[in-house]
Amino acid sequence: MLPSSPRPVFVIGSFVMACCWFARRLPARGEHLHADGFLMEPGGKGLNVAVGLRRLGTPVHLLLGVGNDPAADALHRLLRNERLPEAHVHRFAGASGHGMGLIDDAGDNIIVVHPGANHRLGAEHAHAATADIAASALVYGQFEVADAVLAEAFRLARQAGTPTVLNPSPWRPIAPELLRHVDTLLLNEQEALALFSPESKPSESTLEQDWTAHASRWRHAHPGIDLVITLAAAGCMVWPHDAAAPSHHPAQAVEAVDTTGCGDAFAAAWCSGLANQASPDATVTLALAAGAWVAARPGVLAALPMAADLRGGPARPVTISPEAPRARRGS
């Protein structure tokens, strides 16, 4: 039975004012194209996850850094509309984060982000939230903020016995002082390859051919961490720290419109399942459904689903042997 009032998820957030252009294809270097559409909305990986959690009915504590500009004013209006608390939202002089995305007809994208105030958050801001970190069901962090605030928040979480989930995106190497306080790593396939085999040139084929071998070597050196790897149209792999092999969970079939926020939707639903003490199968099914829901719609924030949008039965996991490559990624 699920708890009637789940404990909050503490989100180490990030905010960017996202500007997205939609074109038939992505431009080549130096090429000028006409866009068929334009969308501007508040975004950022941490903000998206916080909103996604709240829409799924899970309470949220949000640690966030914003600038002193019109984008920050829009952010505060959004937080009130989404019923997200502002106790740990810190306003700094200067610009908020801003981002731009180019999305083609196939749903593929190119994204550039200026972090702005997101990188003004430090260990002292995490420390000020010690009580809420300790009272939360889990702490979620991502890499649109600096290591200092993540490391302190995760240290405080470990000290309080609060589980931690890290999405190291956009990718950078994970500092050892942060990694030792991580309970779950949530990655996409390119981030997974960069983690497991940093000497390899990033390529989808490398990961496909020997995913389990790469992961097994890394897990031997870092026991106790659960791995969740999203594989776009091929679904996801889940490898609990105490399991001998990963399980593959197929994705829902959808016609992709915009894949920009699929990972954030997946992360929000995954954390919601954990906070609500859902079964592993129910958690991964909810996460895959959330990712598919967002992929089939333009934008990110406007596309994040409500709980009622994701009703459905659990998918059956398939255990992958150490020799078996994962399914080919869909186009």
pLDDT value, residue 322: 34
Q: Which pLDDT score is estimated for 245? A: 87
Angle separating helix axes 189-196 and 204-221, nearest 10 degrees: 50
Q: Is residue 321 scored above 90 in pLDDT? A: no
Q: What is the DSSP string of 154-186?
A: HHHHHHHT--EEEE--S--PPPHHHHTT-SEEE
Task: Reply yes or no on whether the pLDDT at 324 is more than 80.
Answer: no
pLDDT value for 306: 95
Under the banding of pLDDT at 50, 70 and 90, the label for residue 142 is very high
Other CB atoms within 10 Å distance of the CB of residue 292:
21
pLDDT, tens digit, for every residue of 150-167?
Answer: 999 999 999 999 999 999
Question: Has residue 61 got a pLDDT over 60?
Answer: yes
**Taking all residues of the chain, what is their mean pLDDT, rounded to a whole number?**
88
Q: Which domains does the chain have, with CATH numbers?
A: 9-26+36-184+257-319 (3.40.1190.20)
On the CB side of 310, how many CA atoms lie within 13 Å of its CA? 32
On the question of pLDDT at 205 being above 50, the answer is: no
- For position 256, what pLDDT does the model report? 85
What does the block give as tokens for 111? Answer: 């994204």
**How high is the pLDDT of residue 210?**
63
Residue 187 confidence (pLDDT): 95
- Whether residue 315 is predicted with pLDDT greater than 70 in this model: the reply is no
Q: What is the DSSP string of 271-296?
A: HHHHHTT--HHHHHHHHHHHHHHHHT
Helical residues (DSSP H) of the chain, grouped into ranges: 45-55, 70-81, 123-127, 130-135, 147-160, 176-179, 189-196, 204-221, 262-275, 280-295
Span 303-325, average pLDDT: 60
Fill in the amino acid letter for 198. Answer: P
pLDDT score of 6: 82
State yes or no: pLDDT of 42 exceeds 70.
Answer: yes
At 51, list the tokens: 């909103």
Average pLDDT over residues 295-324: 68
85 has pLDDT over 90: yes
Does 236 or 299 have the greater pLDDT score? 236
With a cut of 60, say whether residue 208 has pLDDT above it. no
